[in-house]
Structure 1
Amino acid sequence: MKFNRKCTYTPRPSESVQGTMSIDGNESDVKGVFLSMKRLLGISGVVLLCVIIIPIIVYYAKPGCTAGARQLQVDQATTAALGTQLPPVKDVRLPLTVKPIHYNLILAPFIYSNNASEFYFTGSVNISVAVQSSTTNFKLHSHKLQIQTPRVVDSNGNNVAVASVEEDFARQWQSITMSEPLQAGTNYTIIVDRFRGPLERDLSGIYLSSYKELGIEKYLVASQMQATDARKTFPCFDEPAFKATFAVSIVRHQNFKAASNMPTMSSKHVLASDWFVSASGSDRMIKEDFRTTPRMSTYLLAILVSQFDYTYTTDTKNRVYGTWARPDRATSTECAKSIAKNITAFYERYFDIEYPLPKIDQATIPDFSAGAMENWGLIMYREAYLVCNPSIDKSTYLQLTVAIISHELGHMWFGNLVTPDWWDDIWLNEGFASFVEVLAMDQLHPDWDVDAQFVVDDLKRGLQSDGVQSSHPIYVEVNHPDEVNEIFDTITYSKGSSVLRMLYNSVGDSIFRIGVSKYLKQYNYSNTFHTALYQSLTSEARASGRNIDVGEFMDRWIKQMGYPVISCARQSNELSLFQKHFLISSSDAPTYGKTYSSPFDYTWIIPITAATSENISSWNGSQVSHLVHWMREKSQKFSINSTSWYLLNLRSTGFYRVNYDAGNWDALINQLLLNHSVFTPQDRARLIDDSFALAMVGQISYSIPLNMTKYMKNERHYAPWNSVLSSLAYIYSMLHRQSPQYGTFSAYMKSLILPIYNRTGVAQADSDSHLTRITREKIVKAACRYGIKQCAQYAQAEFQRYVSSNFTDKIVPDIRYTVMCRGVAMSDAEVWDNLYDAMLRETSPGVQNDILKALACTREPWLLNRYLLYTLDDGKIRRQDAALVVSSVASNPMGLQIMWDFLRGSWSSIQARQVGIFSLARYASSLGGFNSPERLREIREFLAANSNSLASAVRAFDNALESVRNNVRWMTDCLPAVMDWLNSQS
């Protein structure tokens, strides 16, 4: 049967119009300079001479350099020229002939002057290695470092001659050839007496950050090694399988504090001149030695040198729970210690394995690329993601703090204790942490209904992202660092966690928990492949009397992209099910990135759960594993006893969509109108999301999901409201207030939202439940967006009060962004400038984020342009926040085109300033909101012209292009059907 492609859609990156975090920006680039060949050759000679001489001059001309200073003799410089486009390489894996056992690492960051351009770090490392097979060559990762020639000594301390050292910039390693073979079964020590690297604000490796304290710039050094940036910090074997122990020492000024993965063991004074070229020989520093870590991968190493405040508490096992934060924000992190203590206790019970380190420190970093990083013993966070003050921080941020702590602590077992052998199995880290955080949060806050929230957050995101041709399997081959960085995406996190949730609900909690525990115990402190987990779970299932082959089941979900839609046809008591790959766009849509074929002909092994109008009240809503029937073929028949409606995919535990026959859709809608509470919130949210998705691809009439929305006048739960608002936000994003049809659409939205807006109101009561508060945030945003008069008047009055107080009066946290956005939209440039200045002064990261988003709500195009330019200036907008600014501008109806012009005109600047592993992808995703053939053509031309510079964002740009293509199709094929229904209601 040919799939009806007539009416298609593509997911927006998020409900971005309401201020979801996402992208960033730049300025105009030089278009081109043309030189004659003769002049070019002359200039090349000068450049070559400069390349040789300038580093030498710069190095020895550092301020304060004295004759007594210990100098680093650089034999090889590992930094490639800026702007050089290196050809992609695939053979980047280290040989297995030499493996590390232990690192003695000393790091000495220099941040002790008033000129950040002079900052750098230096260090030394001794690596104990075991030779697996005799060899005359080994590789050592190094990137952007200046390194003395490595020395090699045997177990007796005798030197083993190094014949040559070759630099391989593309593979980011040094190839070291020995004069004689290193013998198998023998241990050696690789010694790098001194290395040196720049301290930059690039948020990777060991890097520079700063903040203002009483108007004074305070500098600190933080780290982000994942995925492949430990090699920017020290020469090492920078792959997850090369686990070793680490004895870390940090040289710091006596006015600073240092932290690493383990507690401090000892400290002593050392001469600054022993480590810093620019320091006086009489200056004294502290060398702080930390206890040796367990065996771990290089990407988990953590370094922090700062003037932060440190506070801690202990548990009954005398384990330390500490927090590091800048002094004016230390109190806002107090809850993090108690949350971590409770979550750790849950994981220890659940996995039946104690947390193995003596401490869990958590640090908030002013500049941080990711949300958080699971460094063993020293977890690092963005400041906005570790907040604890209900009077200032909105409920969604308070929940996010618990979620991120739960996620990162889940990594202490999945990722840190047991680690994937290579990055192609990163889903075992991120998917597992994203799933078990739900289990942990549900134990800590059962009233939050976290599983229902998962359905409308992670599961929905996973289905949206995986329904496109530019998707990829969860398990996918990666080699080059760009490819590694590319898979830290929604498929890995959201689909990975959703598939694990499906497995959990298919086998049941007991089998899952015991099987996972045995797996973790068997492979602790080592590396594995996903098949090891499957074997453990299969063994436990069969021991419990369940004949389930977990590997056979999971391979269908992780080794082929996409997911099925199950179409249903009922005849009497027989239900025929048909599975087919669900795609939002046509399967022949062109892509710029890699495409994948299915090894299973896009057929899945699907856990089918079902209930009918007669028996839905009889099954246990918390567990569905006993109801599972397995669908293994393209089509399959099941018996069903129902004279009314039937429902598949109970509690939305499966990663698939369901399309019912027209009669059953009508019966389900009638039941929702009669009494929606017979369905769980998860089921109600899934019916909404599936029906809108199916209508957008032309499989059902748009009247089905739109008729379903009528029951919302009686709905109060967060999950269905989240689902319906995000589904209808797509229509809003297509009309963008400039379409003549917008008035009809907004009128219906007002009628839909007004009843619950009147129920929830804008005032916050102490008796409000958490779900009420996060629902209020969604409803008030939507009410003001669609022009409900009471909301607009309230927001305007609150903003005027806020402005009159010189931006010091508090706004109800859960609706603060909506108030600010509405206020900025109605204000002039003077108010904009004053609010921006207030953001710079603000000490609450949550309030800062709301202001950053709200500033993009202005209706002045020149202010939007200027705001985008601010993202190119570290003094105006932190690099980590540039993505938030750009996505917020793109969410403004008049801002999307401004952002696109900015992106095209400043592409080189954007590349130069990209930070972390998510940056370019975030830029790309903002483009998905366009819906015209002209913009589609422009994006195609941009991708074709810049195909060699997309780096880790190739797939994200592919997805954006596919989004625009589907938006164009939707405007032609779907909008008329939507408008026909809306007109019929009026």
Structure 2
Amino acid sequence: MTLTWRAVGAALLCAALCSASSPPSSRALALAGAEDGAAAAAAGDYAGTEYRLPVTLVPSAYTVDLVVDAALDKFTGTVAIKTVALRAATFVTLHMDPAWLTATSITFESKTANEKFGPNRDIDLAKEVVLDKKLQTVTIYPMSGTAPNLANYTLVLGEKYTLTIKYNGVLRGDMYGFYKSTYTSSTGDVKLAATQFEPAYARSAFPCWDEPHFKATFEITITHNSKLTALSNTMEASSTPDTTGATKTTVFATTPPMSSYLVAFVVSDFEYKEGEFPPAAGASTTPTPTTTPSSAATTTPSSAPAPAPTSAPAPAANSITYRVYVRPESVNQAVEAAKLGPLSLQKLEEFTGITFKGGSGLSKLDLIAIPDFSAGAMENWGLITFRETGIMFDDAESTEASRESIALVIAHEQTHMWFGDLVSPEWWGYVWLNEGFARYLQYVSMDLVRPEWRLMHTFAVRTLQGALSFDALATSHPMSATVYTPDQIQGIFDRISYDKGASVLHMIRGVLGDNNFKAALNSYLTKMRFYAAKPSDLFQEFDATASKAVFPLPNGVSVAEVLSGWTEEPGYPVVTISTLSNGTVVASQARFMSSGASSSSQRWWVPLTVTTNSSGSATSKVWLSPSDNVTALPGVTPAANDWIIGNVDQNGFYRVNYDEANWRALAAHLQRTVAGVSVLNRAQLLDDAMSLARAGRLRYALALDAALYLRLETDPIPWTAAFGHLSFITRMLANNEAQAKFKSLQLELLDAVSKDVGFEEKEEGKDRDKNHLRLTFRATLMGQACGLGQEDCVGNATKAFKALRDSGAAVPPSVRSTVYCTGLRNGTTSDWDFLWKRYGDTASPGERSLILGALGCTRDEGKLNEYLANSLNGKVRAQDASAVFSSVLGGGDNLELAFKFFKDNFKSMVESYGGWSSIQNVVEGLASRIVDEAKLKELEDFLTANKDGLGVAQAAAVRSLETARTNIKWRSAHLAEVADWVAARGGGGGSGAAAVLGAPLLLATMLALLAA
């Protein structure tokens, strides 16, 4: 019966929503909880699913009318929802969060006014409505009696009903739902209102079916202060002032069918820079965008497109209005985003084969920087919201790393216009269909815009290698996960959904080939346009191109079969390549775990690529089967003393181990020359060797011997892979005499590259694009060098900080984080006060971010405690509070001080730290620095006693304890071996007072690279 109702409901829904070009009705929305988990939940069939809505009605169109008070504290709303009945039920349940909304009237009417579900009338709020605070739902029982079990009226299958709810609402203050934000201008504090609905907060702004598979159109109307401007997903249709001129009512055009979490609106006094889309032919950057003031003071808004001159050519078919909104006094900081954003959007159109305008039907795309914003950015269709660091760039103050971050964050959110907005996931357990694509194509699209930035190389060491580290934990989860509760849903927005999702897509692109991959994506997006998808919908399109794959699949094996292992199970394999005594080269696989050998029998279809020293650029390809213990590698015939490399250019999401002879051959080659081994494979060898040693699968002596080649390495990519591992070892050597020697050895390794890159910017800043990677690498490299106590670096940084303080001398952006941190580490309390004042005075979000990362570098405990207190007293925005904690924790030997603050102020931190991810970052940061059983027990006992206050961070707490246990296990298993190796090869003492491999400097630099 369930299948019958679903098929009928799909047809009815398609009749209400589908256009002639839409998918056939059998694919319509895959019907709201396709496995009918919602219906089972309503009946109480299994635990957890009570959070899914029971499917009785399905929305097709919303009309949302909001009236926001002048103080931006409260609002009133009316929502009229057109629906179609999918079941003969006696009730209707939808989301409405009673913590923020209070219904004042509910009217239920049917198109034909049939009597089976009651006449068109007002619902009795006292007798016919049930609110559920836990589930954040309202259930309506139109009945003749006074209790649900007396309900007499039944929905008529296929009947169209309109549900109208009037309500009062309160703007939130926690950066979720419909909330208020503030900023300080030259004339005082200024208020604005903004939204953040993903994943489950639209229900706190208007009653709705707040699950991603429920697609409907939205017509938004907002009445607001006439001095302010309202923005929403679509173009303004009209703006009408009231008779007094105090308020005006802004009506927006109807949206395409979309999920509730993508609805957005902002009421502010912001101004914008306008970019050009499509960009001028052949433009590497668009013409300087024009500045336009807020439209608030005029009856006819200036946000309306200006008429084109009569001599101008006709606009392109894909032409849209492209604007970047920021606070008025900082409008020039929107220029860079207005240049870069259209360029990546154009490359995404080309890559998908679907224009933004043609796919969505939207004629504008706005980007807006919100002063208080919990996430990095949010992909609301047509109105993308950001943190200020996400799109605001000050040409004089901002670093090149900040420019890269801005470009990538914009590209990430614009990717969502296709993956997430045009096609949404059927349920949050498939959020990797959104975030995996967005993470991947942010790099792909910007690499096409700025190939000289080498972003696909950065993708390998930042995203793919980061995912390998995260997915090696026992607490990892599948890409396609089972989630129901709000906390579970929030928790799924992690490195598995983002970075592993991106890495697996990168791998399958390598299997299919570029053209086949793009053709599959075009078909997927076209067929599923305006609908909700499952992974199988994507895999079906991959399979359609598989016969032409550049890495042919095994006979009888589909792409869906290959990918099911990667998406439906946690983890990934380590492939071990060995040469037998008869010269045969073989490969085997096992699940890789950071804690050591795994007892899991789990295996994957692995696309293994292999090259040798003597084979030149030739690559052998072979599939490892999950059913085979060992696979011979035909065509791989290394000569005597030859080396083998597996996973060529690290296109695959797996690690590679070798027999000891091959590791020695690789180390010997690299210590002679880096020629013959690609930069990506050099980075991979470092990451694999160190990770394998950490897990006990490779002797540390071999891994560290391989890393000695770094004294010849001047490319930033392998160094980026190495820094984290060297930092980890340094931290694990705490309280051991080997630590100082290991730091000295690192300074020897850094010598050549430090001299090559240098502390001074010289002429590089004049051509930022050409020198982009060198400029971003200098920031990280000098942070490491100064953190290790390199005399030249410390001297240059200290001198620059003194000149800044004494005379205001400008510090080059590429070394600014190093100068700030080193200046405070070797400075006085007045130096800290100087930089704190600079934090309050600057108008550059990027500069504020750098300073936040550096203020924890002081050795003055009084200032560190003051800084931590500032994260709770409002002197630092809630969105940035966890950055304060991380700065202190990473600023030196501050674990005890930071841990005490965490325990003493836990409840206040939960309330003030700006969302679940902030507490998660705090817990993970603490655990990563624990190296002894006593401190582990202290953290475990505290987290257990306070688990109810952790919310979504409970999963992070479990993962963090695993990290701490792994650290302790490392000390037991590897400390002696590493200390012996250092004693045999390490240099002289070094400064024991130096921070652990420049951790705070690295933090200060990387704060600008946070992605959405």
TM-score using structure 1 length: 0.85
1:948 aligns with 2:921: no
**Alignment partner for residue 426 of structure 1, among 431, 441, 448?**
431
- State the distance in 2 between where 1:866 and 1:95 align: 51
Alignment size in residue pairs: 864
Give, in angstroms, the shift of residue 710 of structure 1: 2.1
Give, in angstroms, the shift of residue 698 of structure 1: 1.8
- State the distance in 1 between where 2:616 and 2:597 align: 37
Q: 2:886 aligns to what?
A: 887
1:553 aligns with 2:562: yes
The within-5 A match list for 1:432-451 is 432-451=437-456
SS state of the match for residue 716, structure 1? Answer: coil
- State the distance in 1 between where 2:617 and 2:681 align: 13
Q: 1:259 aligns to what?
A: 231
Give, in angstroms, the shift of residue 347 of structure 1: 1.5
The within-5 A match list for 1:521-536 is 521-536=526-541
Once structures 1 and 2 are overlaid, which stretch shifts more, 864-873 or 759-768?
Answer: 759-768
- State the distance in 2 between where 1:810 and 1:618 align: 50
Q: Contact 1:864–1:895 at 8 Å: present in 2 too?
A: no
Give, in angstroms, the shift of residue 426 of structure 1: 0.1
* One-letter amino acid of the counterpart of residue 637, structure 2: N
**Alignment partner for residue 244 of structure 1, among 186, 209, 216?**
216
SS state of the match for residue 579, structure 1? Answer: strand
The within-5 A match list for 1:689-704 is 689-704=687-702
* One-letter amino acid of the counterpart of residue 852, structure 1: L
Q: 1:727 aligns to what?
A: 725
Q: 1:44 aligns to what?
A: none
Measured against aligned partners, the alpha-carbon deviations of 1:163-189 in whole angstroms (never above 9, x if no partner) come to 610011111101111222222111111
Give, in angstroms, the shift of residue 917 of structure 1: 4.7
Q: Contact 2:273–2:334 at 8 Å: present in 1 too?
A: no
* One-letter amino acid of the counterpart of residue 413, structure 2: E
Give, in angstroms, the shift of residue 573 of structure 1: 3.5
SS state of the match for residue 685, structure 1? Answer: helix
Structure 1 residues 544 and 652: alpha-carbon distance in aligned structure 2, compared to 1, 3 A threshold: closer
Q: 1:479 aligns to what?
A: 484
Structure 1 residues 257 and 575: alpha-carbon distance in aligned structure 2, compared to 1, 3 A threshold: same
- State the distance in 1 between where 2:724 and 2:702 align: 17
Q: Contact 2:605–2:623 at 8 Å: present in 1 too?
A: no
**Alignment partner for residue 224 of structure 1, among 175, 196, 199?**
196
1:132 aligns with 2:86: yes
Q: 1:642 aligns to what?
A: 638
Q: Contact 1:607–1:631 at 8 Å: present in 2 too?
A: no
SS state of the match for residue 310, structure 1? Answer: strand
Give, in angstroms, the shift of residue 289 of structure 1: 0.3
Measured against aligned partners, the alpha-carbon deviations of 1:108-128 in whole angstroms (never above 9, x if no partner) come to 33353xxx8xx2222211111
1:184 aligns with 2:157: yes
1:580 aligns with 2:582: no
Q: Contact 2:597–2:695 at 8 Å: present in 1 too?
A: no
Higher relative contact order (CA 8 A, sep 6+): 1
Q: Contact 2:857–2:892 at 8 Å: present in 1 too?
A: no
1:749 aligns with 2:751: no
SS state of the match for residue 627, structure 1? Answer: strand
SS state of the match for residue 675, structure 2? Answer: helix
Structure 1 residues 89 and 907: alpha-carbon distance in aligned structure 2, compared to 1, 3 A threshold: farther
Structure 1 residues 773 and 926: alpha-carbon distance in aligned structure 2, compared to 1, 3 A threshold: same
Q: 2:649 aligns to what?
A: 651
Give, in angstroms, the shift of residue 338 of structure 1: 2.6
Q: Contact 2:377–2:409 at 8 Å: present in 1 too?
A: yes
Structure 1 residues 636 and 857: alpha-carbon distance in aligned structure 2, compared to 1, 3 A threshold: same
SS state of the match for residue 689, structure 1? Answer: helix
- State the distance in 1 between where 2:105 and 2:548 align: 56
Q: Contact 1:469–1:587 at 8 Å: present in 2 too?
A: no
The within-5 A match list for 1:54-65 is none
Give, in angstroms, the shift of residue 575 of structure 1: 1.6
Q: 2:137 aligns to what?
A: 173
- State the distance in 1 between where 2:861 and 2:49 align: 45
1:459 aligns with 2:464: yes
Q: 1:709 aligns to what?
A: 707
The within-5 A match list for 1:32-181 is 89-112=48-71, 119-143=73-97, 144=99, 145-155=101-111, 159-160=120-121, 162=123, 164-179=128-143, 180-181=153-154
Q: 1:329 aligns to what?
A: 330
For structure 2, the 5+ residue unaligned runs are: 1-46, 114-118, 144-152, 278-314, 988-1012
- State the distance in 2 between where 1:222 and 1:147 align: 22
Give, in angstroms, the shift of residue 628 of structure 1: 4.7
* One-letter amino acid of the counterpart of residue 940, structure 1: E
Give, in angstroms, the shift of residue 892 of structure 1: 1.9
Q: 1:197 aligns to what?
A: 169
- State the distance in 1 between where 2:191 and 2:820 align: 31
1:512 aligns with 2:512: no
- State the distance in 1 between where 2:203 and 2:916 align: 15
Give, in angstroms, the shift of residue 332 of structure 1: 1.3
Q: 1:796 aligns to what?
A: 798
TM-score using structure 2 length: 0.83
Q: Contact 2:622–2:633 at 8 Å: present in 1 too?
A: no
Q: 1:292 aligns to what?
A: 254
Once structures 1 and 2 are overlaid, which stretch shifts more, 644-653 or 140-149?
Answer: 140-149
Structure 1 residues 109 and 923: alpha-carbon distance in aligned structure 2, compared to 1, 3 A threshold: farther
Q: Contact 1:717–1:775 at 8 Å: present in 2 too?
A: no
Structure 1 residues 753 and 111: alpha-carbon distance in aligned structure 2, compared to 1, 3 A threshold: farther
Measured against aligned partners, the alpha-carbon deviations of 1:928-966 in whole angstroms (never above 9, x if no partner) come to 211111111111111221233322112211121111111
Q: 1:384 aligns to what?
A: 389
SS state of the match for residue 674, structure 2? Answer: helix
Measured against aligned partners, the alpha-carbon deviations of 1:578-617 in whole angstroms (never above 9, x if no partner) come to 21111122689xxxxxxxx98xx41111110001111132
For structure 1, the 5+ residue unaligned runs are: 1-87, 272-281, 589-596, 620-625
Give, in angstroms, the shift of residue 627 of structure 1: 3.4
Give, in angstroms, the shift of residue 972 of structure 1: 2.4
Q: 1:827 aligns to what?
A: 827
- State the distance in 1 between where 2:936 and 2:849 align: 31
Q: 1:688 aligns to what?
A: 686
- State the distance in 1 between where 2:810 and 2:330 align: 18
Give, in angstroms, the shift of residue 782 of structure 1: 0.7
Measured against aligned partners, the alpha-carbon deviations of 1:330-378 in whole angstroms (never above 9, x if no partner) come to 1111121232212121111211111121011100111111111111001
1:968 aligns with 2:968: yes
SS state of the match for residue 887, structure 1? Answer: helix
Measured against aligned partners, the alpha-carbon deviations of 1:520-554 in whole angstroms (never above 9, x if no partner) come to 10010011111010011101213669545111111
Q: Contact 1:580–1:634 at 8 Å: present in 2 too?
A: no
1:540 aligns with 2:545: yes
* One-letter amino acid of the counterpart of residue 139, structure 1: T
Once structures 1 and 2 are overlaid, which stretch shifts more, 147-156 or 353-362?
Answer: 147-156
* Root mean square deviation, CA, Å: 2.0
Q: 2:415 aligns to what?
A: 410
Give, in angstroms, the shift of residue 923 of structure 1: 2.0
Q: Contact 1:890–1:897 at 8 Å: present in 2 too?
A: no
Give, in angstroms, the shift of residue 302 of structure 1: 0.9
Structure 1 residues 739 and 861: alpha-carbon distance in aligned structure 2, compared to 1, 3 A threshold: farther
Q: Contact 1:432–1:500 at 8 Å: present in 2 too?
A: yes
Give, in angstroms, the shift of residue 292 of structure 1: 0.6
- State the distance in 2 between where 1:265 and 1:128 align: 21
- State the distance in 1 between where 2:696 and 2:388 align: 44
* One-letter amino acid of the counterpart of residue 944, structure 1: T
SS state of the match for residue 175, structure 1? Answer: strand
SS state of the match for residue 51, structure 2? Answer: coil
- State the distance in 1 between where 2:790 and 2:246 align: 65
Q: Contact 2:105–2:122 at 8 Å: present in 1 too?
A: no
Measured against aligned partners, the alpha-carbon deviations of 1:866-897 in whole angstroms (never above 9, x if no partner) come to 211111122x0100000111111111223222
* One-letter amino acid of the counterpart of residue 306, structure 1: S
- State the distance in 2 between where 1:824 and 1:866 align: 15
SS state of the match for residue 479, structure 2? Answer: coil
